[in-house]
């Protein structure tokens, strides 16, 4: 284990950096966007007595080899070329603070571009926070890196600046900047920090703050430049019933002068956003086509968005109240933010076509790609049911339809199109189809026995589906659409993966156990294997357990730990308990991709 730091900024730099990494992983996991984020620290000094003008933590990471010696000059060039460098403030103190922050932001951009443009940074997206002078020596930037393809898989708006206003293009960007801001604040303590950590309650508040900032940015996108109370108002109106009914409907955020807005009704006295009871009452007038029109400060009437609207304009957004306490922000029908009972998250795809087709072909090995496509079309149509529904795909659907009479309305077998499916899902009960997509019954009330499975926090629809699925012993696939838009798949089989990708991580773990192992790298691979545990073979489990045993033996040696300077004796570590890997009895070769 390495015990010395050559590129020294302060004694606890590695602890602090690792704390940012753990916090980043926890925060993004909490919003439903697992990224496997990495954290780094980059420090700059002009003190000629320091051996390293630029320090990188961790210094043994491949990214530490990136040449950052030209970053300061690059930042100076960017500053001099910017219009903002020529702005003057009447207050000297304000002027100096503004331009110091501007130079710092350009240095952060230069660090980002240098890392992203290097061979070591290929495939990664970098985010660099503001710097702080730590311990009087180094100006330290916190840095977070994430897989670029994974980051870009989520929708985002195109701008990060409108006129002179800084805006955040997505909820995930807002979370990232709030995290980096928290790290910068921690670095600015009078005594350099020993660690960085965010408890669950703090993470939740950071995420809510990020959501508020994103909604504020969206207001700026729409043309409203002042502070808006829209985020709090939406939380309130989504929870308020009206004559016993939960809210449903949309609010269109756009300037009333937007040429692509078609007014339907104009209020003589607009409703301020803070008047949430009046807003909730007005929401009853909204439907999928007509929305309350909000300019960021007040509701001015009822309107609809013309089909002439160009998504590239990014100045018209819809807030939809989905269910009690649940609302979503979207742009051109692409969800950008979901808030459920005051908890913000990234909207998850309602259904993933490839995953559903993969599960269908594994449950029903007798069908081909064309039948899987038909089932996907039916599932996609069923997912649009606003009041919730169930689609049951059963291998013996004809017999099941007859068995469940009179708990079902049996029909002559027929393929249903989207409109017909929408009609039959308007009644209670499930739609029963066979693996080819042919419908055999509608309004099906499912039976089954209590098996100890299910979820007490979910409703009758979900739990009856669980009981029925358990009773059918692998004969069916159930798609459950809840009223709040949540979609569940039974069975929700683990995704198929490439066999070689699992073996690669096993080998990386083995290769990380050197004579002088880096524990952080070892446990990065270990955590990766924990996420892949379902796919491990018995032979791979044995190899992994053997490597971990050797690591713990290494950690138990006195010479593996630094001498305590106060006591003058070698430190030691007690036995660390850990859970061995074991093959999952449900795993079989069908969970590996066929292309192999």
pLDDT at 436: 92
Residues 377 and 520 in one domain: no
Q: Characterize the bridge pairing of strands 409-415 and 389-394.
A: unpaired
pLDDT at 488: 83
Of 87, 81, 150, the C-alpha closest to 109 is 81
Q: Is residue 285 part of a domain?
A: yes
Instruction: Determine what percent of the chain is predicted with pLDDT higher than 70.
Output: 92
Domain boundary, last residue among 281, 316, 345: 345
Average of per-residue pLDDT values in the chain: 87
Please give the structure tokens belonging to residue 158.
């195109």
Query: How far is Cα 540 from Cα 433, in angstroms, rounded to an integer?
Result: 41
pLDDT in tens, 266-284: 999 999 999 999 998 898 8
Across the range 394-406, mean pLDDT stands at 90
32-91, pLDDT tens digit by residue?
A: 998 889 999 999 999 988 999 999 999 989 999 999 999 999 999 999 998 887 878 777
Task: Tell me the residue range of the domain where 363 lies.
Answer: 353-490
pTM: 0.82
Same domain, 227 and 273: yes
Q: What is the per-residue pLDDT for 261?
A: 94
Q: Which range, of 143-147, 519-523, 530-534, averages the lowest pLDDT?
A: 519-523
Q: Any idea which of 174-178, 242-246, 325-329 has the lowest mean pLDDT?
A: 242-246
Task: Return the structure tokens found at 159.
Answer: 């701008």
**227 with 325, same domain?**
yes
The whole-number pLDDT of residue 550 equals 92
**The pairing of beta strand 326-331 with beta strand 334-340:** antiparallel
Q: Does the pLDDT of residue 565 top 60, yes or no?
A: no
pLDDT digits (tens, 9 = 90+) for 360-388: 999 998 999 999 999 988 888 887 776 77
In a shared domain, residues 157 and 251 = no
Q: Do 301 and 404 fall into the same domain?
A: no
- Residue showing tokens 């006591």: 567
Measured CA to CA, the distance from residue 206 to residue 227 in angstroms comes to 19
Q: Is residue 211 situated within a structural domain?
A: no
Last residue of a domain, one of 456, 490, 524: 490
Instruction: Note whether 312 and 383 are same-domain residues.
Output: no
Is 473 contained in some domain? yes
How far from 396 is each of 261, 287, 467, CA to CA, in Å? 51, 40, 18
- The answer to whether residues 533 and 584 belong to one domain is yes
CATH value at residue 395: 3.40.1700.10
Indicate the pLDDT class of residue 151, thresholds 50, 70 and 90: very high
Same domain, 445 and 536: no
Compute the average pLDDT of residues 94-116.
Answer: 91
Identify whether 212 is part of a domain.
no
In the numeric block, the tokens 């589906």 are attached to: 465
Q: Assess if residue 209 is contained within a domain.
A: no
User: For residues 341 and 89, which has the higher predicted lDDT (pLDDT)?
Assistant: 341
Return the pLDDT at 459: 59
Under the banding of pLDDT at 50, 70 and 90, the label for residue 570 is very low
C-beta of residue 417 within 8 angstroms of C-beta of residue 424: no
Count up the domains in the chain and report the number.
4
In a domain, 431, yes or no: yes
- Whether 217 is in a domain gets the answer no
Query: What integer pLDDT is reported at residue 220 of this predicted model?
Result: 94
Query: CA-CA distance, 505 to 149, in Å (whole number)?
Result: 19
At 575 the pLDDT is 64
| Whether residue 305 is found in the same domain as residue 412 | no
* Statement: residue 535 has pLDDT above 90: yes
Of the residues 490, 507, 531, the one at which a domain ends: 490
Q: Are residues 27 and 108 in the same domain?
A: yes
Q: Which residues contact 276 (CB under 8 A, 6 or more apart)?
A: 233, 236, 237, 240
412-465 pLDDT per residue, tens? 999 988 888 888 888 888 899 999 999 999 988 887 665 556 555 565 677 788
Give residue 118's pLDDT. Answer: 96
Q: Judge whether 159 and 313 are in contact, CB under 8 Å.
A: no
The arithmetic mean of pLDDT across residues 523-550, rounded, is 93
Report the distance separating Cα 376 and Cα 379, nearest Å. 5
Q: State whether 17 and 163 are in the same domain.
A: yes
Which pLDDT does position 516 carry in this prediction?
83
Helix (H), strand (E) at residue 480: strand 476-481
In 3D space, the residue among 253, 259, 267, 258 whose CA is nearest the CA of residue 300 turns out to be: 267
CATH of the domain at 327: 3.40.1700
With beta carbons less than 8 A apart as the criterion, state whether 578 and 552 touch: yes
CB 215 within 8 A of CB 329: yes
Quick one: pLDDT band at residue 323, thresholds 50, 70, 90? confident
Of the candidates 65, 58, 20, 61, which has an alpha carbon nearest to the alpha carbon of residue 42?
58
Going from the C-alpha of 517 to that of each of 1, 149, 484, 512, the distances in angstroms are 5, 30, 49, 6
Whether 315 and 386 share a structural domain: no
Q: pLDDT per residue over 205-240, tens digit each?
A: 999 999 999 999 999 999 998 888 999 999 998 888
Strand partners, 439: 414, 433
Q: Is residue 68 part of a domain?
A: yes
Task: State the angle between helix axes of 200-222 and 230-239 in degrees (0 to 180), rounded to the nearest 10.
Answer: 110
């Amino acid at each position: 284990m390495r015990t010395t730091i050559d590129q020294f900024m302060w004694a606890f730099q590695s602890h602090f950096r690792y704390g940012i990494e753990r916090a980043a992983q926890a925060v993004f996991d909490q919003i439903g966007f697992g990224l496997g984020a990495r954290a780094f620290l980059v420090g700059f000094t002009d003190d000629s007595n320091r051996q390293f003008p630029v320090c990188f933590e961790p210094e043994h990471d491949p990214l530490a080899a990136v040449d950052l010696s030209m970053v300061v000059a690059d930042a100076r060039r960017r500053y001099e070329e910017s219009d903002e460098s020529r702005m003057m403030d009447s207050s000297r103190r304000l002027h100096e603070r503004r331009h110091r922050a501007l130079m710092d932001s350009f240095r952060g951009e230069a660090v980002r571009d240098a890392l992203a443009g290097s061979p070591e940074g290929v495939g990664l997206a970098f985010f660099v926070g503001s710097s702080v002078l730590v311990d009087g020596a180094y100006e330290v930037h916190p840095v977070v890196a994430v897989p670029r393809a994974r980051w870009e898989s989520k929708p985002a708006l195109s701008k990060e600046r409108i006129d002179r206003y800084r805006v955040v293009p997505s909820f995930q960007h807002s979370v990232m900047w709030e995290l980096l801001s928290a790290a910068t604040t921690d670095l600015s303590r009078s005594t350099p920090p020993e660690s960085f950590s965010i408890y669950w309650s703090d993470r939740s508040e950071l995420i809510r703050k990020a959501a508020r900032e994103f909604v504020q940015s969206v207001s700026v996108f729409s043309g409203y430049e002042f502070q808006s109370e829209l985020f709090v108002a939406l939380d309130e109106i989504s929870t308020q019933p009206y004559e016993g009914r939960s809210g449903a409907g949309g609010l269109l955020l756009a300037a009333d002068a937007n040429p692509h807005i078609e007014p339907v009704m104009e209020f003589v006295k607009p409703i301020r956003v803070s008047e949430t009871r009046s807003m909730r009452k007005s929401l009853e007038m909204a439907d999928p086509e007509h929305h309350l029109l909000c300019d960021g400060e007040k509701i001015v009437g009822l309107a609809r968005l013309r089909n002439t609207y160009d998504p590239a304009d990014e100045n018209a957004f819809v807030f939809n109240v989905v269910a009690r306490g649940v609302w979503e922000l979207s742009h051109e029908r692409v969800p950008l933010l979901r808030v459920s009972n005051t908890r913000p998250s990234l909207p998850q795809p309602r259904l993933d076509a490839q995953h559903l087709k993969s599960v269908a072909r594994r449950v029903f090995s007798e069908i081909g790609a064309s039948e899987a496509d038909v089932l996907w079309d039916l599932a996609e149509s069923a997912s649009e049911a606003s009041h919730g529904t169930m689609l049951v795909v059963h291998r013996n659907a004809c017999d099941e339809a007859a068995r469940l009479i009179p708990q079902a309305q049996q029909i002559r077998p027929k393929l249903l199109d989207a409109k017909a499916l929408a009609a039959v899902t308007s009644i209670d009960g499930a739609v029963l189809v066979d693996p080819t997509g042919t419908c055999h019954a509608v309004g099906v009330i499912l039976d089954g026995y209590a098996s100890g499975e299910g979820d007490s926090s979910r409703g009758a629809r979900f739990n009856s589906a669980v009981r029925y699925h358990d009773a059918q012993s692998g004969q069916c696939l159930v798609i459950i659409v809840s009223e709040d838009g949540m979609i569940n798949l039974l069975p929700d089989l683990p995704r198929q993966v490439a066999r070689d990708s699992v073996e690669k991580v096993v080998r990386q773990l083995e290769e990380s156990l050197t004579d002088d192992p880096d524990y952080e790298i070892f446990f990065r691979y270990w955590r990766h294997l924990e996420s892949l545990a379902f796919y491990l073979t018995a032979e791979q489990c044995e190899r992994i357990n053997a490597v971990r045993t050797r690591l713990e033996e290494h950690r138990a040696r006195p010479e593996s730990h630094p001498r305590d300077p106060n006591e003058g004796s070698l430190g030691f570590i007690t036995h660390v308990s850990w859970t061995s890997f074991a093959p999952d009895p449900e795993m079989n070769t069908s969970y590996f991709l066929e292309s192999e």
